[in-house]
Chains A and B, each alone.
Chain A
C-alpha cells in the first residue's frame, strides 16, 4: 500500500512519529487526530507505582525525618567521642527548613540544588552547565542503588523514576501521539524544575499526571487552577512560603510576600510578557494568592502533602488586578482572579501563538494565530476545541517542514521508528540530559524553548550523531532499513536521503542515517 504523505505530516507534526506500519492505512489523518481529541480518557496515566502527590510528599517527609535523626545521632556520637557531655536533644534539633533545603550527603542521587532566591531564575540559567545534564549511569540505574547496594533509592528518586518510565512508555505506545504531544506542550508551558528541591523532584511527574493530563482536552481555566494549586508549582515558584504582610502570620514574623508565582502566572502562564499588565497587577495578584500553600510534615493545617488555603497567611483586603477588585473570601478570591485572567484576550493570543509556534512554525503566521485565538475566546478556553481548530486549519498542513524536532520528540520518534519501547528509561533519560532537555528540569520557569534554533546547535548536532549511532548499534532484528524510508520518513523523502540510506555500509549505519536524515530531524 502506498503511503499518503498527509499521514506522515499527521505523525510528525502533530504526533510522535510513525511506527512501522502506522502510515500504511486509508482514511483521512485529520479524522484520526480528531478521534484522539475525542478520547481525553486515553491521556489518563495510572499504575500501581504512580503515587499521588500527597503520598509522595509524605514519603519524602518521612525520609527527611529519618535522615534528620541519623544526622542527630551522628552528631551526638561525635561529641561523645570528643569527650564532650551529650547535649540535650533540643540543642541538636535541626530546623525543618534547613533539613529541607540542604540535601544530606546520603542523598547521592539528587543533583546539587541551585539556590533560587525569590525567583531570580536567571542565576539558575547562568549556572546551567553545572546544574543540568548530570549524566546518569548508562546501565540505567538512576538512583543511589548503584552506589549503595541494598539501599532503597530516596522516595523522590523512586517517584521521579516511576513517572519518567510511565511518560516514556506512554509516548512510545500512543497511537499517533497528538494527545501526548499536547501533554508535553502544556507540561512545558506550566513547567517546574526538579532542580529546585527534593519536593519538586518528587512531584514534577505527578504535577503533569494530576494537573495537566486531565485538562489537556478540557478547559484552560481548570488546568490553570490545578497547576497553580499543585504542591510542585507552589514549591517551585515559592508561593508556599509567601505570606501576606498584614496577615496574622505576617504580623508575627518577618517573612512576607513572594511575587514569584504571581509574576509567572501573568508573564508565562496566561497573558504573556508585555501584554499590558503592570508591576502593581503582579503585586496585587501575589497578595490575592497568599495562603495558597502546602501542608507540611507536621500536618498542622491538614493532611501533610496537600494543597491548603492558609487563612493565617492570607493578605486581607480586596486587591485590584487589571482594574477589577476582588473581595471574595478564601481561595475563591484567587480562583476568581485566575478566571478573569484566563479570559483576557491576551491569554488567548499568548496560548494560540505558543501552540502554533510549537506545532507549525518558529515564526507563527499571524492570521493563523488570530483564528486560533478566536476559537479560544469563543469557546471560553475549551482546549479540545482549540486543538481541533489547530488540526483542521489548512494552514497547519500546508506549512513546510521547517521545525526541528526537540530532543524529547527525537528520542521518542527514534524508539517508535523501530517499534521499540525502552525496558529501562535510563538511556532515554540520559540522552535527554546530553541533548540539553533533561526531563522536567528546564533552566527556568519559561520552560524549554520552542524555537528550532535553540536545538539546532553545534553541540546538539554532534550529540545527535552520537546518540543515533548508539541507538542504531543496539537495534536488533529490525526490518531492512530501505523498507523503512517510505513508512518512517515519508514518500516525499529526498533522493539524496534515499541514496544515503540505501548505500549505507551496514544495516546499523543505515538505521543511524535514517534517524539523522533531515526528514527525520525536521517535522
Chain B
C-alpha cells in the first residue's frame, strides 16, 4: 500500500521564483537561531478533501484544461488565475496568499498526500491527523505529541496549544495540555448538511423532504436573503472569526504557541465551480483566515508558520455533476513570516491517464509527512528521532523536508 516517497533529487523540480535555500534538517532550528525567537505554528485541517487542481492549477500541463473541463482555471477571462510560476497559477479567490507568495512568505507543495491510499474521509483525516500508518490506532494527534516531545523548558512546550472550535481536531488532541476556544453562538447547519439531508429524504422519506423543504423556504422568505449569499457568507465569516480568535490567544505572552483548527466543506462532489463558485468561496474564506492571522499576530507574524492540509485530493477529471470525487494527490499551503516562501514545491507527475494514480487521481509524489516533519524540525526544533518515533511513529524512512523555514 505504501508508496516509496522521496524520489531522487534529480527528478525533483523546484519551480519557484527563487532558488531554495537548503538548511540541514538535522540541525535543530533553535540551535542556530537567536534565543529570542518565539515560533508560532498553526495547523489548518481542510476537511472534505480539497481539489488541489482547482486551488493551484497546473496551467502549464497540456492535459490540464481538457481533464478539469469547466472547472479548469485559466490565465485569461473574467476571473484570471494568479500566476505563481510559469507552470502553476493560483485560484483568483486567494489574493492574500498571492501577495504573501510574492513577499516570499507563502509556498505551495503540490501533488502531495499522506501514506493513506483509500478514499474514506474519516479514515483519511484520521491518518492525516493522528500521524499513524493506519486509521483508528490512537486518540492523540501528531501536533500534540510534537509539543510533548520538545525538550523540557522549551517555550512552545511550556505554553502548549489551542484548539479552535467546539471540538478539538484530532491533530492537537492528546496528553499535552491544550486550550480550547470556540467562537460564541450556535453553529448554524451548513448548506452542505441541509443539501445532503434533503437528498436523503427525497430518496427515502418524501414526507420528511416535503416538510423540511417548506421549512427552509419559509426561512428563506423570512430572511429575504438569496440562497447563494447567506450560507457561504457565513462560512467565510466563520473562518475569519476562528482565525482572529486563535491569533489573539497566540499573541499573548503566556498564550499558546501552537494552534489547530478544522474547516469543513471541501467535499465538492457537485457544482464545485472553478475560478468562481462554491470552492472559490471556500478558498476565499481560507485566504481571509490567512489574512486575519497575519493582521492579528502582528509582530509575531515573522515567527509564524501556518500549514493548511487536507486528507486527500479529488479526481483529476470532473464527474457528471460538475464536481470531483474522492482522489489522492493534492496541495498543501504554507504561509507565514517564517516560511521560506515564493515557491511551488512539486515533483510533477503529469496528468496523462497513465500518469494518474489508478488512472483517475493526481499521483502523489511528495509525502505530506515529509513536509510536516520539515516544519516541525526546522520551525519548532524537533529531532529527526523524535519525529520518526513518537510524533510520526515508524516513519524512519520518511525524511523531514529541508528548507521550508526561512533562515
Contacts and interface: CB of A to CB of B under 8 A. Distances in A.
B97 interface: no
Interface in B320-353: none
B9 interface: no
Contacts of A458: 211-218
Interface string B255-266: 000000010111
Interface string A502-523: 1111111110110011100110
Interface in B212-247: 212-219
B193 interface: yes
Interface string A449-492: 00000001111111101101110011111001110000000000
Interface stretch (B62-70, B194-202, B384-392): B194-202
A480 to B, nearest CB: 6
Interface stretch (B23-31, B107-115, B181-189, B370-378): B181-189
B204 A462 contact: no
B48 interface: yes
Interface residues of A, number: 42
B298 interface: no
Contacts of B213: 458
B189 A505 contact: no
Contacts of A496: 200, 203-204
B contact patch SS: helix
A497 interface: yes
B166 interface: yes
Contact of A462 (B125, B219, B265): B219
Interface string A279-306: 0000000000000000000000000000
B166 A473 contact: yes
Contacts, number: 116
Looking at B120, B122, B125, B168, the one whose CB has the most chain A CB atoms below 10 A away is: B122
A contact patch SS: helix
B121 interface: yes
A476 B182 CA distance: 14
B47 interface: yes
Contacts of A480: 122, 136
A433 interface: no
B121 A504 contact: yes
A456 B211 contact: yes
Contacts of A120: none
B133 to A, nearest CB: 17
A101 interface: no
A412 to B, nearest CB: 20
A497 B193 contact: no
Contacts of A522: 205
Given A459-B215, A480-B136, A518-B201, A465 B189 contact: yes
A278 interface: no
A513 B211 contact: no
B47 A506 contact: yes
A20 to B, nearest CB: 15
B167 interface: yes
A518 B200 contact: yes
Contacts of A476: 167-168
Looking at B139, B166, B168, the one whose CB has the most chain A CB atoms below 10 A away is: B166
A6 B267 CA distance: 36
Contacts of A104: none
A138 interface: yes
A3 B348 CA distance: 49
Contacts of B186: 138, 466, 470
Contacts of A482: 122
B215 A460 contact: yes
A392 interface: no
A5 B212 CA distance: 28
Contacts of A512: 189, 193, 197
A456 B200 CA distance: 16
Contacts of A469: 187-190, 193
A521 B209 CA distance: 12
A470 B187 contact: yes
Given A481-B122, A500-B196, A500-B199, A505 B264 contact: yes
Contact of A505 (B48, B201, B204): B48
Looking at A468, A481, A517, A521, the one whose CB has the most chain B CB atoms below 10 A away is: A517
A379 interface: no
Contacts of B188: 466, 469
B152 interface: no
B196 A513 contact: yes
Interface string B56-76: 000000000000000000000
Nearest to B269: A503
A363 interface: no
Given A462-B219, A504-B121, A508-B264, A513 B166 contact: no
12 contacts: A456-B207, A456-B208, A457-B211, A458-B218, A461-B215, A462-B216, A465-B212, A480-B136, A494-B203, A497-B200, A506-B121, A509-B264
For the complex of A and B, 5 pairs with smallest distance between CB atoms: A462-B215, A458-B215, A458-B214, A469-B189, A518-B205
Given A473-B167, A505-B121, A513-B197, 4 more contacts: A456-B208, A466-B186, A503-B121, A517-B204
